[in-house]
Structure 1
Amino acid sequence: MYLGLDLGTSGLKGVLIGDAQAVIGHATAALSVSRSQSGWSEQEPLQWLRAAEEVLDALAAKHDLSAVKGIGLSGQMHGATLLNDADEVLRPCILWNDTRSHAEAAAMDADPRFRDLTGNIMFPGFTAPKLAWIRKHEPEIFDRVAKVLLPKDYLRLWLTGEHVAEMSDAAGTGWLNTAKRDWSDELLRATGLDRTHMPRLIEGSEVSGTLRRELRARWGLSADTVVAGGGGDNAASAVGMGAVQNGQAFLSLGTSGVLFAANDSYSPDAASAVHTFCHALPGRWHQMGVILAAGDALNWFAKVSAAKAADLTSALGNVQAPGRAIFMPYLGGERTPHNDARVRGSFIGLEHAADRAAMTRAVLEGVAFAFADCRDALIATGTTLERATAVGGGSLSPHWLQIMANATGLALDVPVSGDFGGAFGAARLGMMAAEHAGVEIATPPNIHHTIEPDPALASAFADAHARYRAASAAIRSLSI
């Protein structure tokens, strides 16, 4: 057996797979987020450990974990987990969707070394701007920092006692030379840090360590169980979906939204606000268009409408031409293609006839047009996109997927029911590390059906996307 642990924002998930890579067990534990100020988003790292204990307890109650040969880790990216020289947490982890460091990110982005070496715009969500913010606003904390770990790598420290990161997650810090797959001494110095503050780097399919004795004893795990490098959430999900070869892609409708394409070579275009990161496998990279509120936008509207998100979408009937109302899904700023931490969401074009159904359609369409912006940005970098595998909670809505296909022009492949998220990909990486196996393990899932763009609605969706872009430019020109 092989175990994947995926440390998400709202929960930690564990998945057990067998030698044939079929899921044979799973468990989840909830996590909470603190938002004490506008634009802030934090979690206590001890929450992650308690959640991991809960998941392992649940799995051990139903399965003999002594058969686990390898463990892989996946997790939310960019979080700043700060430790002192005794590996004690110094403050709550600042998460990926925290935008407080927008001024620091802009200052770093104005330094050409950051784009040149990382291949990316310096977004406020990245780790390096967070440390610059702490250096300025919490100097007493900054002076005590001995190690900076990403969230899943703090979980690894608990599991193995090792300070280790892997390439896909490290590429989202703002300190990695993404072409060379190594920390940049130059960029670390620019943030007041050096290599001693950073974990050791490995590839996602390599062994990072073995389990601490007390954990083996508690859950009956073997002393030979290895812990793989793992991957950032999207790179691990790509391993789970077999999106590891050039041109293979997936579209994730989760809390955030991701349009992901694997690449065999490093080809950044920072100005596009497309993320260019290392993949979780050696010699591979990937590009992503990222929107900060996808399923989160629908969940927000469901909350204010006092309804369930699934009920809102199921009540809409067949997909039609886009409505008059336009929704901008910038509830917490936006990444691709705008790199704007301060822009906020809005409805535009509401009229007396606008009811809850019309506003629901506008939310679904607004998120879809944000994905279309990501598609355009990816294509502009030279990436070819014709189809993508649809995953994430929002992909359970056929209505939303049809809107998504119409807006992006992509054929969306819907897998046969199964788990192809970060935990499954992490389990595959654990299998690779334990068995010294390669990329052939990361096979694509079986496809149940494909949702094609409706040619009869192509012109209407193209016109609506043009109106969306114009509305977006107007909204972003406002100072809020």
Structure 2
Amino acid sequence: MYLGIDLGTSEVKLLLLDGDGRIVGTAGSALTLSSPQPLWSEQNPVDWWRATGEAVSRLRAAHPAEFAAVRGIGLSGQMHGAVLLDDGDAVLRPAILWNDGRSHAECAELEAAAPRLHDIAGNLAMPGFTAPKLLWVRKHEPETFAQVRSVLLPKDWLRLQLTGDKVSDPSDAAGTLWLDVARRDWSDELLAACGLTRAHMPRLVEASQPSGVLKPELAKAWGLGPEVVVAGGAGDNAASAIGIGATRPGDGFISLGTSGVLFVVNDRYRPNPASAVHAFCHALPQRWHQMSVMLSAASCLRWFCQLVGSDEATLLAELAPDDSVVNDRVDRTASAPIFLPYLAGERTPHNDPFAPGVFHGLRSATTRADCTYAVLEGVAFGLADGLDALRAAGTEVHQLSLVGGGARSAFWAGLIADTLGVDVAVHAGSEAGGALGAARLGFLAAGGSVDAVCTRPPVAALHCPDPARAARLAPRLARFRDLYRRLRGA
């Protein structure tokens, strides 16, 4: 048995995988965000560990015999977060997360201090990345910065609790702006630009390699045997790719989680920062990937649920009473407002932490279902912008898998296929996302082979673009893009 631990933004999710690659069970525990000031997004790492313990208890209670047989653990996690530790490994301040926008000024400072940043790290300096966060701490919290002895990414702080070891992997480390992405090693030049050295960084292992073993006292408390190996693990999107078997060049997927991601595997390092496309290491050796990221995706629907006092199932049922029927849906393109999904600013392609969320075109006849549709459509339009940026970077795809919580809606999947003009495949268990990939990495670290472990799950549904619906969406996409251009900087 193999355990995947996925540290998301809204939940810690655990997944138990058997030796035949079947999902035995899952469990989760919710997390909350703290936004003490505009553009800020933080979490307390102690809450991650509490939520992990709660999820372990639930999974162990539901599958006691299978859980006791776990021999490998893999980790997946939200990327870019800055966990700052002192010389006793105590957390110095709340973790600054991937969707935090406070360090926009420090991005310009980093670009000036590290002229070769784009060549080495393969990415623009954006507020979400880790390096600008440390520059912000150095400037605004100098007493804290002076105490920093270690900087860990979120999943790697969990590893410290699991094994006592400070380790990361290239896929997650690539999101710090401190990694030489082509060489898959820390860059002394980029670290120095932030007042740091290799001594502040964890050692690196590949995502599928062992990084340590579970602490004996923790193994005993969880009812596990000795020498449970913990894999290097991966950033959430690279782990999701492993979960749906996206391992070969050209394989790709869309992740509809808190953020929205378009991910395509490459056989070499192919940076194109001018389009705000991310070039990162994949979770397998000698593999890289390009990625576009929108900061708010399924979180837009959750936000709208809170705004109108409802839940996702109710809103989707109002929109598409039979979500399995594609062709009998009400066409709302004539009545729905346009929605800009920039509730936390935006990365690809705008690199604009100040971009706002917007409903445009509300009328007295506008219904709640119209607004629900606009939210789903706005996210699909944001993904279309991301796909255009990937195409400008030389990447072409014809089919994408859909993973994450948003994969549960056939309506949304069909809308994305119509908007992007590509086939969208939903796989059995695709909502497991990073947790499944993490479990597979645990399997690999314990001796499994890539060909046997990293298979594609069966396709549960294939959504192909409908030309008539795509034609109705095209003018709305043009209005969506024009609205952002008109509002930028307003």
Q: If the length of structure 1 is used for normalisation, what is the TM-score?
A: 0.96
SS in 2 for 1:171: helix
Q: 1:157-184, CA deviations, whole angstroms, 9 ceiling, x for partnerless residues? A: 1111111000110000110010110000
Distance 1:436 1:361, change over 3 A: closer
Q: What is the letter of the counterpart of residue 408 of structure 1?
A: L
Runs (5+) with no aligned partner, structure 1: none
- Quick check: 1:23–1:419 contact (8 Å CA) kept in 2? no
Counterpart Cα distance in 2 of 1:144 and 1:95: 20
Q: What is the letter of the counterpart of residue 223 of structure 1?
A: P
Counterpart Cα distance in 1 of 2:332 and 2:228: 54
Counterpart Cα distance in 2 of 1:439 and 1:136: 48
Query: Hey, what does 1:109 align to over in structure 2?
Result: 111
Equivalent residue in structure 2 for 1:323, among 334, 347, 354: 334
Query: Hey, what does 1:53 align to over in structure 2?
Result: 53
Query: Hey, what does 2:393 align to over in structure 1?
Result: 381
- Quick check: 2:86–2:92 contact (8 Å CA) kept in 1? yes
Are 2:126 and 1:123 equivalent residues in the alignment? yes
Runs (5+) with no aligned partner, structure 2: 321-328
Matches within 5 A, 1:38-437: 38-61=38-61, 62-64=63-65, 65-110=67-112, 111-317=114-320, 318=329, 320=331, 322-323=333-334, 325-417=337-429, 420-435=432-447, 437=449
Shift of 1:322: 2.5
Query: Hey, what does 2:323 align to over in structure 1?
Result: none
Shift of 1:24: 1.3
SS in 2 for 1:267: coil
SS in 2 for 1:340: coil
Counterpart Cα distance in 1 of 2:117 and 2:430: 39
Distance 1:214 1:293, change over 3 A: same
Counterpart Cα distance in 2 of 1:233 and 1:90: 24
Counterpart Cα distance in 1 of 2:469 and 2:21: 40
Q: What is the letter of the counterpart of residue 323 of structure 1?
A: A
Counterpart Cα distance in 1 of 2:372 and 2:451: 41
Q: 1:135-170, CA deviations, whole angstroms, 9 ceiling, x for partnerless residues? A: 000000000100000011011011111110001100
Q: 1:413-464, CA deviations, whole angstroms, 9 ceiling, x for partnerless residues? A: 1113465411111110011011152354211110022111111122222222
Query: Hey, what does 1:466 align to over in structure 2?
Result: 478
SS in 1 for 2:424: strand
RMSD: 1.5
- Quick check: 1:251–1:257 contact (8 Å CA) kept in 2? yes
Query: Hey, what does 2:20 align to over in structure 1?
Result: 20
Counterpart Cα distance in 2 of 1:266 and 1:319: 44
Distance 1:345 1:179, change over 3 A: same
Counterpart Cα distance in 2 of 1:419 and 1:40: 28
SS in 2 for 1:259: strand
Q: 1:248-283, CA deviations, whole angstroms, 9 ceiling, x for partnerless residues? A: 111111121111111111111001111111011111
SS in 2 for 1:131: helix
Identity %: 54
Query: Hey, what does 1:34 align to over in structure 2?
Result: 34
Counterpart Cα distance in 2 of 1:32 and 1:345: 21
Counterpart Cα distance in 2 of 1:334 and 1:327: 14
Distance 1:382 1:53, change over 3 A: same
- Quick check: 1:310–1:397 contact (8 Å CA) kept in 2? no
User: Which contiguous aligned blocks of 4+ residues in structure 1 show a shift greater than 4 angstroms?
Assistant: none
Distance 1:264 1:420, change over 3 A: farther
Q: Answer with 177-186 or 302-311: which moved more.
A: 302-311
- Quick check: 2:242–2:440 contact (8 Å CA) kept in 1? yes
SS in 2 for 1:378: helix
Q: Answer with 214-223 or 285-294: which moved more.
A: 214-223
Alignment length (residue pairs): 478
Query: Hey, what does 1:8 align to over in structure 2?
Result: 8
- Quick check: 1:260–1:288 contact (8 Å CA) kept in 2? yes
Query: Hey, what does 2:325 align to over in structure 1?
Result: none
